[in-house]
Amino acid sequence: MATPLEKWVEEQADLTKPKKIHWCDGSEEEARKLIETGIKEENIEGTPVFKELNQNTWPLSYYHKSHPTDVARTEHLTFICHNENDTIGPTNNWMHPDEAKEKMKNLFNGCMKGRTMYVLPYMMGHPDSPYAKACVQITDISYVAVSMRIMTRMSKKVIEKIGNLNNFVKGLHSVGDFNPERRFIMHFPEENLVQSIGSGYGGNALLGKKCFSLRIASWLGLKEGWLAEHMALIGVETPEGKIYYIAAAFPSACGKTNFAMLESTLPGYKVWTLGDDIVWLNIGSDGRLWAMNPETGFFGVAPGTSLKTNPNMMKTLKNTKFYPVLYTNTALNLDTNEPWWEGLDGDIPENLIDWQGKKWERGSENKAAHPNSRFTVSIYNCPTLSEEYDNPNGVPISAIILGSKRTKLLPLIVEAFNWEHGVFCGARSGSETTAAAAHSVGVIRRDPMAMLPFCGYNMGDYFKHWIEIGKKLTKQPKIFTANWFRTDENGKFLWPGFGDNIRVLKWIIDRIENKVDAKETPIGLIPEYNQFDLNGINLSKEKWEKLFNIDKEEWKTEVLEVQKFFNQFGNHLPVELTNYLEKLKTQL
Ligand code: GTP
Ligand code: SPV
Ligand code: MN
């Protein structure tokens, strides 16, 4: 008798008609073979799936080039398919499940002809955690199979774990013909199912990541009383040897990976890494909020990564512990066969080809590496990996940071008055769009808790759920908003950022330990200049004032934007948020 899993795979094969089916076991030996296959396999326009990079300087590293239209998440082609439109709210694209299934059936029909179907069994979360989920993704490209080995706990043990059950998370993926006209990412939350066609790009194609661990998991969290969040997760060790765990949401390409492994510039302080993109939060039996990272790898933005900004990531990339390391859509140094991107240490190489394979002319307006070019690397390579990373219980959270990218308006760090006010601060957040998704870059849009593209249901209900979680916690973490990106009148960043963000973390811990005061403003509590550690950096009082200035006129405009955004949710919006908005208006 075939198991439900075998039956499901057979049905998908009947539909997609691959030449061959390969069940992956997640071993290193298998990954080596997949890469070898990828090196010989044509992907697009005569380009192979993988190219080996210089193994002396970039050990275990391989290069992958995407189709030129397939370099970022495509939010307009991403749908949540609940029976009722109202369930998903005004911020998601909706399609009725029946219509979506029919559409996808036609697109998937015969799409794997002549290709190999890879069956990938994997866990999201530590297998011993009660929150872990057994998942199976089908794909027809070795790049996705190898990426999933890095990003998840892929193993044939998952097949045994699933056994005769049908409740595993299902993902069907094909790159199709890469045509954006025939590209869709469909989520069926009621069935734990994702179907994706036409893209090989990260968030569109690695279905355990944003599709399951955020969009569908957020829906599961609503029903089961937990949260799935777009957050980095760190432990901050103080000079006294105490470790505080902090979860931080920042929108896509706004600093989570850098934050996750920041190299402290303050003596005695050290940051331990647990995650850089996704956190599942639950209420522990002790009434505290507990966090775990369901992933096992980093799919990080390459441009800007260097020994200066993120030395621990450079070490992670060069570590030879876990095979392999992938580079997608960076530039290539033709003389040395090394990857290159804007911001990498050293001189700009003489002989570069850009991410599309064209000779790159020095001084060209175009970037050599795509602004959303990325590396894929195992978290086990990370030199600052926390000892608690593989603890199936996760870690207890002392503070939550809800960050955004604003060149104006928003101070470096603001403490919310209380949990509900913190939820309001997250809900009202706007951020500048980045190259992580296919849309115009640098436009301010509302992005509550950095979850706008990832919340799998009505965000009004999501805000309510956050408030409810807060009520159930006997020890609520403090909530803060952060912004590393405020600029002066010349467009220069006011705050040095990166390793110096430890100063902000120190202030947060000092607040938790009741060691420092804070100044009350209409938007929350801000630090006092003389109670914030600026030793070793040159930050004048004048600059500080700019960094923390609350411009009432700017905030009045902001409040109108927030009001417009909130209005869309009608009676799904919790009254607590309306009240905080009214209060803010009055105080301005
Ligand atoms: P996703 O993987 O898309 O979710 O992005 P992310 O939130 O992990 O962002 P990441 O850490 O990759 O940073 C994105 C960009 O922000 C990079 O170009 C960084 O150089 C820049 N960045 C990160 N931290 C800071 C900071 O503290 N200050 C400044 N000025 N830039 C930063
Ligand atoms: C993001 O866009 O937030 C990412 C990259 O982390 S992706 O996996 O493509 O979603
Ligand atoms: Mn992300």
Cβ atoms within 10 Å of 335's Cβ, excluding its own: 10
The pLDDT of residue 543 is: 97
Predicted local distance difference test score (pLDDT) of residue 46: 82
* 3-class secondary-structure state, position 508: helix
> Could you tell me which residues come within 8 angstroms of residue 104 by beta carbon, excluding any fewer than 6 positions away?
184, 186, 195, 197
d(CA 199, CA 213): 19
- How many Å lie between the centroid of ligand 2 and the Cα of residue 204? 9
CA of 15 from ligand 3 middle (Å) equals: 32
Site to probe by mutation for ligand 1, drawn from 257, 370, 374 as the one with most ligand atoms within 8 Å of Cβ, is: 257
Report pLDDT for 140.
98
Query: 175 near 204, Cβ under 8 Å?
Result: no
Mean pLDDT estimate for the chain: 97
pLDDT computed for residue 178 by the predictor: 96
CA of 183 to the centre of ligand 1 (A): 28
Phi, psi of 209 (to 5 degrees): -85, -105
Check if the beta carbon of residue 450 is closer than 8 Å to that of residue 372: no
**Active-site residue 81, yes or no?**
no
Residue 250 Cβ < 6 Å to ligand 1:
yes
- φ and ψ of 205, to 5 deg: -120, -30
- Whose CA is closest to 253, among 298, 301, 309? 301
* pLDDT of amino acid 44: 81
Whose structure tokens read 């998370």?
169
Burial of 336 (0-12, 13-18, 19+ CB in 10 A): middle
Query: Which residues fall within 8 angstroms of residue 525, CB to CB, at 6 or more apart?
Result: 414, 415, 416, 417, 518, 519
For residue 35, is it left (φ>0), alpha (ψ between -120 and 50) or beta?
A: alpha
Nearest CA to ligand 1 atom 14: 253
The predicted-structure confidence for 218-271, as pLDDT tens digits, reads as follows: 999 999 999 999 999 999 999 999 999 999 999 999 999 999 999 999 999 999
* CATH superfamily, domain at 4-44+77-225: Phosphoenolpyruvate Carboxykinase, domain 1 (3.40.449.10)
**For residue range 182-192, what is the model confidence (pLDDT) as tens digits?**
999 999 999 99
Question: pTM of whole model > 0.95?
Answer: yes
Write out 563-587 in H/E/C secondary structure. HHHHHCCHHHCCHHHHHHHHHHHHH
How distant is the alpha carbon of residue 14 from its chain centre? 34
Start-to-end C-alpha separation, the chain: 69
Tabulate helix, strand, coil % of the chain (nearest 5): 30, 25, 45
Residue 209 beta carbon below 6 angstroms from any ligand 2 atom? yes
Domain assignments of the chain as residue spans, ordered by start: 4-44+77-225, 229-297+387-550, 298-381
Task: Determine if ligand 1 sits within 6 Å of the CB of residue 151.
Answer: no
- Is 188 within 8 Å of 97 (Cβ atoms)? yes
Nearest to 416 by CA among 477, 471, 483: 477
Q: Which two tokens stand for residue 6?
A: 């075998």
CB 316 within 8 A of CB 307: no
Q: Tokens 């607040």 identify what position?
A: 511
Sign, CA dihedral 164-166-171-172, equals positive
Taking only the tens place, the pLDDT of each residue in 371-413 is: 999 999 999 999 999 999 999 999 999 999 999 999 999 999 9
CA–CA separation, 103 vs 74, rounded Å? 18
Tokens 């009045």 locate to: 556
Domain 229-297+387-550 has CATH 3.90.228.20: yes
Q: Per-block average pLDDT, block size 10, for the chain (588 residues)?
A: 97 98 98 97 89 98 97 97 95 98 98 98 98 98 98 98 97 97 98 98 98 98 98 99 98 98 98 99 98 98 98 98 98 98 97 97 95 98 98 98 98 98 98 95 97 98 98 98 97 98 98 98 98 97 98 97 98 98 96
Sort strands 133-139 and 169-174 into parallel, antiparallel or unpaired.
parallel
**What CATH homologous superfamily does 298-381 map to?**
Phosphoenolpyruvate Carboxykinase, domain 2 (2.170.8.10)
What is the predicted pLDDT for the residue at 481?
A: 98
The residue annotated as part of the active site, out of 81, 111, 135, 254, is 254
Atom of ligand 2 nearest to the CA of 277: 6
pLDDT at 42: 87
**Residues 6 or more apart in contact with residue 494 via CB below 8 angstroms:** 412, 486, 487, 488, 543, 546, 547
Q: How many CB atoms lie within 10 A of CB 547?
A: 19
Which ligand gives the minimal distance to the CA of 209? 2
